[in-house]
Amino acid sequence: MPNAKVVAEHLLRREVIIDCRPGAGILIAPHFYNTESEIDLAMGAIDEIVAKGVTTEVSPS
């Protein structure tokens, strides 16, 4: 995924728990206790961030 580190920062800011692996991309690891709506929310957030073409890091709050 292009700009995986930046996308990961935006996901974490939205409280979507992921891991960014340098050279590999973003790791999402749903488990049996995650609901389908939680997975849809995470995937929707990725779609939205990528569609916006976000390329800048999240500024500290």
Angle, CA 2 vertex, CA 34 and CA 18 arms, to 5° = 25
- pTM of this structure: 0.81
Residues 1-57: pLDDT tens digits? 778 999 999 999 999 999 999 888 999 998 899 999 999 999 999 999 989 887 777
Domain ranges across the chain: 1-29
CA–CA separation, 46 vs 23, rounded Å? 18
Q: Reduce the secondary structure of the chain to three states and give it as a string.
A: CCCHHHHHHHHHHCCCCCEEECCCEEECCCCCCCCHHHHHHHHHHHHHHHHCCCCCCCCCC
